[in-house]
Amino acid sequence: MKVKSNDEMPGHLARRFQQIATAVFLSETTAAGYDLTPVQYAALSAIKLHPEIDQITLAGLIAYDRTTITGVVDRLVEKGLIIRTASSRDRRSRELTLTARGEEVLAGVTPAVEAAQQMMLRGLSQTEAAQLMRLLRKVIDDANDLSRAPYKPLPSR
Amino acid sequence: MKVKSNDEMPGHLARRFQQIATAVFLSETTAAGYDLTPVQYAALSAIKLHPEIDQITLAGLIAYDRTTITGVVDRLVEKGLIIRTASSRDRRSRELTLTARGEEVLAGVTPAVEAAQQMMLRGLSQTEAAQLMRLLRKVIDDANDLSRAPYKPLPSR
DNA sequence: CTAGATTGATCAGCATACTGAAGATCATTA
DNA sequence: TAATGATCTTCAGTATGCTGATCAATCTAG
């Protein structure tokens, strides 16, 4: 049987890239004095853009699984970065909003996050980096509904 | 503060692509009647190529963390796909080798794995797919030492 | 040859991710 | 309006991944 090299497997390359992206993110943000995971940062910035968002809508915006978001939100609440209150319109759902400290942390850590995005692409030229991101967006967009946690844009109200 | 869209974050794109790759892998291999994770498949095929490999070398070949490999190997042993024996040369290390059933499973599941690799790139043309993989290889190669579990080629003996 | 450094494996602890199920609540329709 | 279905959240269970520590075995320098 012919065995394919890992380098020929897009799935393997995906795992490696994500592994590196996470390591660089944590290294940069830790060096800047913050204690946030990539996932927590994405949630935080989505909540800033959409105050009083419920968990399901948040999960759709950043393509998280609905069961994963529960723990992420728990930890953000524990850290005092967001508050979770029962919705008055729909008592099933919880509304998420940044605290003042959440605003501070988000603003403070963002430069380190930007630096991380640069560093993880350091092997590529500007043109290549743009090309990679274009191709990733295309492939992700086309395969969006193949995972249990697809991206779902904000419902228009 | 200007907040960047997720689409402009390579780290976010990395997570999404990996999420999709895993989902497609599991969907295809499950449909083919197998119960293997992407990580278990990679380990299995590396062990086939390098019988009697020790765990640290295996981890380096597929860029796993050394502490993660323990559990993965545990589960492959439980499933009867590999055997783990104490090395006679170095009593600290364990030698891993496929069982007959491991060989069968690897051979049997491989078509589904190949199909998954095609499906996760279904939004791209042949040219674009090759381009994406080239750029991913380049970025990963250059940032290899930025994660705790870098790729380490087989030591020449 | 032996003290100190290194290495292979494992462990505890934490944080994603997913499957499938449950409970509470809401919406719709007969 | 009452029954039915859908939705929001959470939970138990499993599998990566990582940090930092420990233990046993090996290697190396003085």
Q: Are A116 and A25 in contact (CB under 8 A)?
A: yes
Q: Which residues of B22-40 are buried (b: 16+ CB within 10 A; e: fewer)?
A: bbbbbbbbeebebebebbb
Residue B55 bridge partners (DSSP): none
| pLDDT tens, position by position, B94-143 | 999 999 999 999 999 999 999 999 999 999 999 999 999 999 999 999 99
Query: What residue in A sits closest to B138 (Cα-Cα)?
Result: A123
Residue A34 in any domain: the answer is yes
Q: Is B151 among the domain residues?
A: no
A149 close to A63: Cβ distance less than 8 angstroms = yes
Say what the pLDDT of residue A61 is.
Answer: 96
Dihedral, B139, B112, B130, B60 alpha carbons, nearest 10: 30
A2 falls in which pLDDT band (50, 70, 90)?
low
Tell me the two tokens of residue B127.
């040219």
Strand C CB shell (< 7 Å):
A 37-40, 64-65, 67-68, 71-72, 75, 90-92, 147-149; B 15, 19, 22-23, 26, 54-57, 66-67, 69-70, 73, 84, 87, 90, 92-94
Contact A19 B137 (CB under 8 A): no
Share of chain A above pLDDT 90, in %: 91
Residue B135 to residues A107, A129, A140, Cα–Cα distance (Å): 31, 8, 16
pLDDT of residue A144 exceeding 90: yes
Amino acid at B150: P
| Cβ <8 Å between B120 and A151 | no
Bridge partners (DSSP) of residue B84 are B96
Tell whether the model's pLDDT for residue B156 goes beyond 90: no
**Strand C, nucleotides covered by protein (CB < 7 Å):** 7-13, 15-21, 23-27
Residue with tokens 């279904």: B122
Report the distance separating Cα B32 and Cα B20, nearest Å.
18
Q: What is the mean pLDDT of residues A24-36?
A: 97
Contacts of B136 in chain A (CB under 8 A): 10, 13-14, 16-17, 132
Best CA proximity match to A135, nearest among B126, B117, B25: B126
From residue A74, how far is each of A68, A92, B104 by CA, in Å?
Answer: 10, 17, 44
Residue B76 distance to chain A (closest CA, Å): 19
Distance from CA of B47 to the nearest CA of A (A): 11
Average pLDDT, chain B: 94
C-beta of residue B87 within 8 angstroms of C-beta of residue B72: no
Task: Summarize the confidence of residues A77-89 as an average pLDDT.
Answer: 95
In total, chain A counts a number of residues equal to 157
The residue among B2 and B47 whose pLDDT is bigger is B47
Residue A7 has pLDDT above 50, yes or no: yes
Q: Is residue A101 part of a domain?
A: yes
CA of B125 to C1' of D16 (A): 31
Checking if the pLDDT of A45 tops 70, the result is: yes
Only one residue has tokens 């750029």, namely B135
User: Across the strands, what pairs with B83?
Assistant: B97
Domain-embedded: residue B1: no
Q: Residue B19: inside a domain, yes or no?
A: yes
Burial of residue B56 (number of CB atoms within 10 Å: 0-12, 13-18, 19+): middle
Binning pLDDT at 50, 70 and 90, where does residue B73 land? very high
Positions of strand D less than 7 angstroms from a protein CB: 7-13, 15-21, 24-27
CB atoms near residue B108 (< 10 Å): 13
pLDDT tens-digit series, residues A48-76 = 999 999 999 999 999 999 999 999 999 99
* pLDDT for res B2: 66
E strand spans, chain A: 82-86, 94-98
What is d(CA A96, CA B43) in angstroms, rounded to the nearest whole number? 41
* A70 domain residue, yes or no: yes
pLDDT at B9 exceeding the cut of 50: yes
pLDDT of residue B151: 95
Selected for mutation to probe chain A from B8, B19, B141 (highest A CB count within 10 Å) is B19
Token couple for B115: 């199909």
Q: Note the pLDDT of residue B157.
A: 45
Q: Is the pLDDT of residue A5 over 90?
A: no
Range of the domain at B134: 10-146
Which single residue is written with the structure tokens 């998280």? A64
Read off the CATH number of the domain in which B62 is found. Answer: 1.10.10.10
Supply the pLDDT for residue B107: 97
Question: Taking residues A97-124, what's their average pLDDT?
Answer: 97
DSSP B32: T
pLDDT bin (cut points 50, 70, 90) of residue A136 is: very high
- Rounded CA-CA distance B103/B110 in Å is 11
pLDDT at B4: 77
Residue B65 within a domain: yes
| Total domains, chain B | 1
* A48 vs A96: CA distance, rounded Å: 9
Mean pLDDT in chain A?
A: 94
Q: What is the pLDDT of residue B148?
A: 94
In a domain, A111, yes or no: yes
Cβ contact, residue pair B139, A117, below 8 Å: no
